[in-house]
Structure 1
Amino acid sequence: LTEAHTTGRLVSELKRLRRYRLIIIDEIGYLPFDSDTANLFFQLIASRYEQGSILITSNMPFGRWGEVFADDVVAAALIDRLVHHAEVITIDGDSYRTKTRRQLVNADQ
């Protein structure tokens, strides 16, 4: 999106991405977004709102998305669009990767 924005192709890139029935975005919150990137991400979500499906994974609760997107207002607008018509699935517990590793270590002992 950043490259498309820089080269003046953002509108056509967002249009291209709307053709997909599902977009999967993994690990939101793993790295913070700067203000410009957060705004581009908002444009992606807004362009797909009620137009196509989005699957997002995150270890970050919604209450901390203001930190991720460097702006509470942008975070609130994103969350609003994402959870409207959504199934939000919260998974509690240990990381699956950590659990698998622990099982392997215990099996070796």
Structure 2
Amino acid sequence: EKGYSSYFCMSTELVDRLLRANQKGTLERVLKQYANYDVLVIDEVGYLPFSRDGASLLFQLINMRYEKKSTLITTNIPLSQWSEFLQDKKLTNALLDRLVHHSKVISITGKSYRMKDYSEKKTKTPKSK
């Protein structure tokens, strides 16, 4: 049996790779590579802002995958604030339109799991004499 192909990447690494490929003239090949994964997981979207060129290249990739392949996005940024790191409202609307169409948005609220562990360790630290 053949399984699904998948790829996990940080959003900044993905956009940097697309920008470099665009400069080298290999963008089409790199876009096709990412577009062909059955499942693409893009982590920490919005953690750092993208240049307009970077945001445009990310849109191109999302558009290539739209209605063909599964794309998972992780972010701490509400969708209403995405234009702040994508730096273009029209592009943001078009990108979100493709991402949320036919999708399931899972919102998780509460304290960070990593911070929870830190808080527990901090309270268990013995007091110095």
Coarse TM-score class (shorter-chain normalised): over 0.9
* Relative contact order higher in (CA < 8 Å, ≥ 6 apart): 1
Equivalent residue, structure 1, for 2:121:
104
1:10 Cα shift?
1.3
Identical pairs, percent? 46
1:45 and 2:45 matched? no
State the TM-score, normalizing by the size of structure 2. 0.80
* RMSD, aligned CA: 1.1
1:66 aligned to 72, 75, 83, which one? 83
Equivalent residue, structure 1, for 2:32:
15
Equivalent residue, structure 2, for 1:80:
97
Cα distance in structure 1, aligned partners of 2:86 and 2:45: 10
Q: Tell which structure's C-alpha radius of gyration is larger.
A: 2
Q: Could you say what secondary structure the match of 1:13 adopts? A: helix
Q: Name the amino acid aligned to 1:76.
A: N
State the TM-score, normalizing by the size of structure 1. 0.94
Q: Could you say what secondary structure the match of 2:44 adopts? A: strand
How many residue pairs were aligned? 109
Question: Structure 1: 5+ residue runs without aligned partners?
Answer: none
Question: Structure 2: 5+ residue runs without aligned partners?
Answer: 1-17
